[in-house]
């Protein structure tokens, strides 16, 4: 499993992860909020997205974050949402860099 | 004759390798306080666990290596241990607990609690500071297995003081409930109980905190993996295929949660006749060894099915203490040593060190 070495802000709102293997991911705040995997944002049985883009304000941003066990990250968003656990695996899969984005796993 | 000094002694000790860590004891930094006085040498070897399975072997080899030096005719080696941790737990929340090791299984009834209790006792017997947390709220059996009852006291800071028995610090839901009363809880309550048992108990300084989990892959297992950085889990199974298949699910859960599996224990491996001592492999044998090979996990050992394990458990004295020289007790002690070795390997390798820098 990919594991982060460093988690910091990128600019004012975005999240930056430097992975142990040297790869760097930068997640624009709102895109990351829209990918929240919690049961309120994604239907647990069907996997269908419940969250609608319109529900999320344009300037949503992470206020703080914390590690969950050895496998994930919890993000506390402005507006009070913090239910989703972004597993390291999910975060790596979500990496929006050109190289990852064009790979078949990330379609 | 060349002059022997501390440097030559260290050079000689480089020939002694820790078989588990695969490196020599000098470069591992184990050799301390080398003293030389005429033909006599005194030194300390500080291992990563008092339960090291290769302790005597390393001591012997070190003695031989030093005695082989010219002009040295006496050597006195003291073996000590400093248990390592790879945890980056913040100070405060279990900050003084070096290693947290859940004992899990897929199926119920494989003897998980008996294994957890005997491993904890065996580690404590080696000189380590050990805690045992019974996270099986549905069927807390640690109080019976260790013959301890009563309600724990609360410290002035509201922390619960764990019960002590056989040099173990012990916490169990069983201390708070009448024996016949059942716990019927939904997930959020279980989550709170785990938080309370981890953060609300005055565990103090521990080398190993062993956690006896309920069977399966449910709320309690998930809560535990979320709340703390675990060193790694031990998975217990019986040799039957049906149990092994479920054990693999437990392993798969820990892998998904990025929690290392330190090894597999095969319980009820064979029947040990209390009259003639003969072995009978009633459930088949070696299945867990095969699974660990397939899943590339350490096999920690096998424990016989024996009446004396059961009777001593019912009487509240684990067999490791009641009959330390029996084959059954030796099996547990060997497994505890193998586990301690795996924990050391885990902690000394860069792999375990997650060490994620978060600055946000």
Average pLDDT over residues B47-52: 95
The pLDDT of residue A46: 92
Provide the β-strand partners of residue B18: B23
Q: Is residue A47 part of a domain?
A: yes
Report the C-alpha gap between B237 and B232 in whole angstroms. Answer: 17
pLDDT at residue B211 is higher than 60? yes
**Cross-chain Cβ contact A70/B360 below 8 Å:** no
pLDDT digits (tens, 9 = 90+) for B17-27: 999 999 999 99
Mean of the per-residue pLDDT values for chain A? 91
CATH number at residue A33: 3.30.2020.30
Nearest Cβ partner of B360 from A5, A7, A68?
A: A7
Residues of chain A where predicted confidence (pLDDT) is lower than 70: 102-107
The pLDDT of residue A107: 42
B355 at interface of A, judged by CB pairs closer than 8 A:
yes
pLDDT digits (tens, 9 = 90+) for B276-300: 888 888 877 788 888 899 889 999 9
Write down the pTM of the prediction: 0.87
Q: Which residue of B has its CA nearest to A2?
A: B258
Strands B163-165 and B168-172 turn out to be antiparallel
Residue B259 with chain A: CB contacts under 8 Å: 69-71
pLDDT digits (tens, 9 = 90+) for B193-202: 999 999 999 9
A71 at interface of B, judged by CB pairs closer than 8 A:
yes
pLDDT digits (tens, 9 = 90+) for B96-120: 999 999 999 988 889 999 999 999 9
What is the maximum span of chain A, computed from C-alpha positions, in angstroms? Answer: 36
> How far apart are the CA of B233 and the nearest CA of chain A, in angstroms?
13
B123 against B189, higher pLDDT = B123
Q: Is residue A67 part of a domain?
A: yes
Specify whether the CB–CB gap between B235 and B264 falls below 8 A.
yes
Domain of A69, in residue numbers:
29-102
Q: Is residue A16 part of a domain?
A: no
Number of independent structural domains in chain A? 1
Q: What is the side-by-side strand order in the sheet with B130-134?
A: B163-165, B168-172, B130-134, B208-212, B100-104, B233-237, B261-266, B299-302
Domains and CATH numbers, chain B: 6-81 (3.30.300.130), 100-348 (3.40.50.300)
């Amino acid at each position: 499993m990919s594991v982060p070495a460093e988690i910091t802000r990128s600019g004012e709102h975005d999240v930056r992860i430097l992975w142990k293997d040297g790869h760097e991911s930068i997640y624009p705040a709102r895109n990351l909020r829209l990918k929240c995997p919690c049961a309120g944002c994604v239907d647990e049985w069907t996997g269908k997205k419940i969250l609608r883009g319109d529900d999320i304000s344009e300037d949503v941003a992470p206020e703080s974050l914390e590690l969950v066990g050895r496998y994930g990250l919890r993000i506390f968003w402005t507006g009070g949402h913090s239910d989703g656990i972004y597993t390291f695996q999910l975060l790596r899969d979500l990496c929006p860099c050109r190289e990852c984005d064009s790979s078949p796993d990330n379609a | 004759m060349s002059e022997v000094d501390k440097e030559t002694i260290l050079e000689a000790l480089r020939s002694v390798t820790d078989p588990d860590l695969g490196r020599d004891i000098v470069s591992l930094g184990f050799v301390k306080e080398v003293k030389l006085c005429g033909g006599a040498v005194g030194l300390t070897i500080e291992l990563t666990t008092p339960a090291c399975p290769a302790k005597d072997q390393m001591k012997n080899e070190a003695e031989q290596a030093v005695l082989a030096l010219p002009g040295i005719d006496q050597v006195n080696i003291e073996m000590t241990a400093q248990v390592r941790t790879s945890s980056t737990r913040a100070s405060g929340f279990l900050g003084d607990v070096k290693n947290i090791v859940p004992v899990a299984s897929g199926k119920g009834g494989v003897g998980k609690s008996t294994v957890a209790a005997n491993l904890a006792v065996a580690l404590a017997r080696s000189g380590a500071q050990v805690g045992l947390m019974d996270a099986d709220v549905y069927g807390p059996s640690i109080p019976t297995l260790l013959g301890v009852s009563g309600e724990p006291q609360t410290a002035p800071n509201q922390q619960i003081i764990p019960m002590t028995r056989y040099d173990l610090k012990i916490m169990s839901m069983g201390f708070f409930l009448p024996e016949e009363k059942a716990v019927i809880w939904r997930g959020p309550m279980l989550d709170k109980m785990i938080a309370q048992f981890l953060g609300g108990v005055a565990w103090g300084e521990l080398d190993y905190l062993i956690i006896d989990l309920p069977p399966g892959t449910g709320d309690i297992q998930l809560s535990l993996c979320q709340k703390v950085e675990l060193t790694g889990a031990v998975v217990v199974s019986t040799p039957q295929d049906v149990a092994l298949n479920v054990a693999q699910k437990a392993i798969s859960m820990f892998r998904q949660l990025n929690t290392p599996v330190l090894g597999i224990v095969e319980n009820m491996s064979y029947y040990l006749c209390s009259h003639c001592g003969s072995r009978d492999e009633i459930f088949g044998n070696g299945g867990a060894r095969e699974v660990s090979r397939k899943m590339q996990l350490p096999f920690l050992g096998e424990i016989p099915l024996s009446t004396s394990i059961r009777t001593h458990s019912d009487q509240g004295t684990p067999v490791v203490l009641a009959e330390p020289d029996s084959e059954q007790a030796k099996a547990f002690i060997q497994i505890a040593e193998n586990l301690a070795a795996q924990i050391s390997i885990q902690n000394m390798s860069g792999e375990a060190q997650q060490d994620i820098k978060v600055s946000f």
